[in-house]
Amino acid sequence: MDNIEAGFYQVDTGSLSGCVSGKDIHVLLPFRSNFKGSINALTFIQGFEISSAKILGSNSPFEVQIINKEINETGIAVTISTTTITQVHAILVSYIGYGSELQNVIVGTYIFDTYIPSATLVYNPTPDLSDNADDFYGFNGFILNNDGSDFQISTAWNGNNFRFTTLSNFRYLSFNFFFTMGTGCPSCKNYPIYLDGNCISYCPAGSNYNGKTCITCLAS
């Protein structure tokens, strides 16, 4: 798909592992593409290794957040922060960048910030996303109670809503999603190839199927 790019960045281990208040790290996620129209982007915490210490008989919450991002033609400048004594030993940040002229996409963010403890959250996005071709989603930040249970945070999409679960309680949650609508062939029975806005059963003469679409190889 043109006018869109995805990638990831591994934050240097130890960059956020000091036990001090207000730990921040600034990361640039560089773009490789030239987008059409204004530039937009979503970020996701793809993976992490964190720990939390006990102070005065109480476990500090688990907290990791992407609190700020600036976007331009060179890339995404993000600030990763943890304001408790959570120690972040490693973190993997992924992103999707896209131009405003990209068609048939729906993007959104869900924020839970009431600080009312809950082990399960349900979010019903609007508009209807059940007829999507592809979906990408993930956490952008969280604060979880640390009650001594095994760390666990997960999400599931059932075609109508997102369901978030943890073994402890959510105190804060930031979640991003990116859906493509009608750009693939999930409803084109027996026509698995998507080419120039159409679903076809085989590639035209002189081209070959590369697993996604038809390509024409230039003679050497």
Q: Domain residue spans in the chain?
A: 4-181, 188-220
Nearest to 153 by CA among 136, 135, 172: 172
pLDDT of 142 reads 93
Please state, in angstroms and rounded to a whole number, the distance separating the CA atoms of residues 50 and 89: 6
pLDDT of 3 reads 86
Q: What percent of the chain has pLDDT over 90?
A: 31
- For 83-87, 102-106, 150-154, 186-190, which range has the lowest pLDDT when averaged over its residues? 186-190
- Measured from the Cβ of residue 150, the count of other Cβ atoms closer than 10 Å reads 6
> Is 50 in contact with 86 (CB distance < 8 Å)?
yes
Domain 4-181, second-level architecture: Sandwich (2.60)
Q: What is the token pair recorded at 175? A: 């979640």
Nearest to 138 by CA among 105, 118, 110: 110
Angle at 197 between CA 194 and CA 201, to 5 degrees: 35
Please state, in angstroms and rounded to a whole number, the distance separating the CA atoms of residues 162 and 133: 17
Q: Which helix (H) or strand (E) holds 175?
A: strand 162-181
pTM: 0.75
Find the largest Cα–Cα distance for the chain: 73
List, in order, residues 6 or more apart from 113 with CB less than 8 Å away.
Answer: 172, 173
**Between 99 and 101, residue with greater pLDDT:** 99
**Between 96 and 12, residue with greater pLDDT:** 96
Mean pLDDT value across the chain = 82
In this predicted model, what pLDDT tens digit does every residue of 141-167 receive, in sequence order?
A: 999 888 877 788 999 998 889 999 998
